Amino acid sequence: MPTAKNYRCFILLIALVLLSGCASVRETDSAANYSPMVSYAMSLQGTPYHYGKSSPEEGFDCSGFVQHVYGHQGIALPRTVQDMAQSLSQVPKNDLHSGDLVFFNTNGKPFSHVGIYVSNDNFIHAPSQRTGKVLVSSLKNRYWGERFSCARRP
């Protein structure tokens, strides 16, 4: 006869299966609405982080990732976070569009990290050696929310 603990585990497993199915449907639906540039950026998820690099073969740091993604679309951007921020037009946080660049203060400098805004408060970036790969994060995440500096539009 099943124990109460086994029954709870079974119910939890069923709930996880159902929830993961819903999440994948939403991800697929929203992926269809991405611009070619953001779709390309999303295809690079999991690429290793590597400081000073800017290619899928060698890996990316944050500005190398952004520069590579935009370059793939024929748009030249400066190589450093600071230069990107200084050369682009600022946009209000409440007017973010897919493809805008989001900047963060992660080390005491207002422009020390950059990512590409996807949608629904999510952005894709190459965060750090510790994280180790290109991934999607949320502006609602406390860490990123507290460090948000500004947004710029290429």
List the catalytic residues. 62, 113, 125
d(CA 42, CA 32): 12
Instruction: Please report which residue ranges of 32-141 form alpha helices under DSSP H.
Output: 36-43, 62-72, 81-87
Three-state SS for 145? Answer: helix
Instruction: Enumerate helices (H) and strands (E) in the chain, giving the number of each.
Output: 5, 8
d(CA 54, CA 11): 45
What end-to-end distance do the CA atoms of the chain give, in Å?
Answer: 63
Cβ contact 62:127 at 8 Å: yes
